[in-house]
Amino acid sequence: MDKPALPLGQVISLDRSSPVPLYFQVAQRLQDLIESGEIPTGSMLDNEVVIASQLGLARPTIRQAMQYLVDKGYLARKRGVGTTVIHNRVRRKVEMTSLYEDLEQAGRHPSTQVLSYEVVPAPPEVATALGLEVGADVLSLRRLRFAGDEPLAILRNHVLRDLGVTEAGLKRQGLYQLLRSKGTEIRSADQTVSARRATTAEAELLAQPRGATLLTVNRTAYDQAGRPVEFGRDLYSAALYSIDISVARD
């Protein structure tokens, strides 16, 4: 059950002499309160008119601040319900970990819908990545990954057929977990991260607006012997998912 609306006028102060736009001050202060847990997930916010009155600002200023946080994945708006704090963006470091396991560890209750599971002739891009002849049989997978009841990612993978990956197993575990249980340990991967707009079908699967921004992760993964075993092209909702990268100078 959603928690009662919180009067933001009691927790947000503004510096009207600052060159920082007022909408951005509101958004940043509200984001800080959400990230610190002072405004917990599930809290309802008052409507724009009430918040504008509490802060002594114009309604368009509040609307801009709210939309900024909706776009960043901190708030959700539902017609007839109002604005709710969600702060459910999944943050991952660039490490050899399984999304399924990361969600489990974060208490996000992962689940998987297998959209397709079939043996297909390897197209040129897949054959090159996996070291196969073009047209060789390869297992093609397409899955929808949920965090709780929220669709987070469309996972598209081609894997070698001899790895013991079953459709039933994919419904219970992440791909890398399943591979590990069958004796294949993913030890390294080459990844490319970029972004693009969702197609109508992709937006529908991920419950996002048409044309929403998706993060794309293209990957070739290698086992303990250095053999390429998986070629992945994953799509993530940018409103719910981010990738953390740490860099250092040698």
- Structural domain contains residue 121: yes
Specify if 250 maps to a domain.
no
Q: Kindly report the pTM of this predicted structure.
A: 0.60
Q: What tens digit of pLDDT does each residue of 40-69 get?
A: 888 888 888 999 999 999 999 999 988 888
Q: Are residues 106 and 39 in the same domain?
A: no
What is the C-alpha to C-alpha distance for residues 141 and 158, in angstroms, rounded to an integer?
A: 6
Q: Give domain status of residue 71, yes or no.
A: yes
- Whether residue 11 lies inside any domain: the answer is yes
pLDDT of residue 140: 97
Q: What is the pLDDT of residue 116?
A: 96
Q: Are residues 59 and 118 in the same domain?
A: no
Nearest of 80, 86, 66, 65 to residue 23 by alpha carbon: 65
| pLDDT score at 87 | 58
75-127 pLDDT, tens per residue? 887 777 788 887 555 555 444 556 666 666 666 688 899 999 999 999 888 99
The 10s digit of each residue's pLDDT in 12-32 is 888 888 878 898 889 888 888
Same domain? For 119 and 233 the reply is yes
Residue 93 has what pLDDT?
46
Does 29 lie in the same domain as 112? no
Same domain flag for 207 and 154: yes
38 and 152 housed in the same domain: no
pLDDT for position 108: 67
Least confident of 135-139, 152-156, 242-246: 242-246
CA distance 42 to 25: 22
Q: What is the model's pLDDT at position 3?
A: 54
Q: Residue 202 maps to which CATH number?
A: 3.40.1410.10
Neighbours of 162 (CB within 10 A): 10
Q: In the prediction, which pLDDT does 105 show?
A: 67
Question: Could you count the other beta carbons within 10 Å of the beta carbon of residue 235?
Answer: 21
The answer on 102 and 76 residing in a single domain is no
Q: What is the CATH number of the domain that holds 11?
A: 1.10.10.10
Residue 220's closest CA among 178, 181, 188? 188
Distance CA 214, CA 218 (A): 13
Residue 219 placed within a domain: yes
Same domain, 134 and 238: yes
Q: Final residue of a domain: which of 45, 62, 85? A: 85
The answer to the question of residue 249 being in a domain is no
pLDDT tens by residue, 218-245? 889 998 888 999 999 999 888 766 665 5
> Span 170-191, mean pLDDT?
89
In a domain, 37, yes or no: yes
Q: What is the pLDDT of residue 1?
A: 44
Residues 200 and 106 in one domain: yes
Domain count, the chain: 2
Q: Inform me whether the pLDDT recorded for 201 exceeds 90.
A: yes
- Residues 119, 53, single domain; the answer is no
Same domain, 124 and 79: no
Q: What one-character-per-residue DSSP string does 13-30 give?
A: ---TTSSS-HHHHHHHHH
Domain around 71: 3-85
Q: Domain end: 35, 55, 85, which one?
A: 85
| 30, 59, 85 - which closes a domain | 85
Please state, rounded to an integer, the average pLDDT across all residues of the chain: 83
Extract the runs of DSSP E, i.e. beta strands, from 90-136.
90-93, 110-121
| Residue 95 in domain | yes
**76 and 158 both lie in a single domain:** no
Please give the average per-residue pLDDT across 184-199, as a whole number: 87
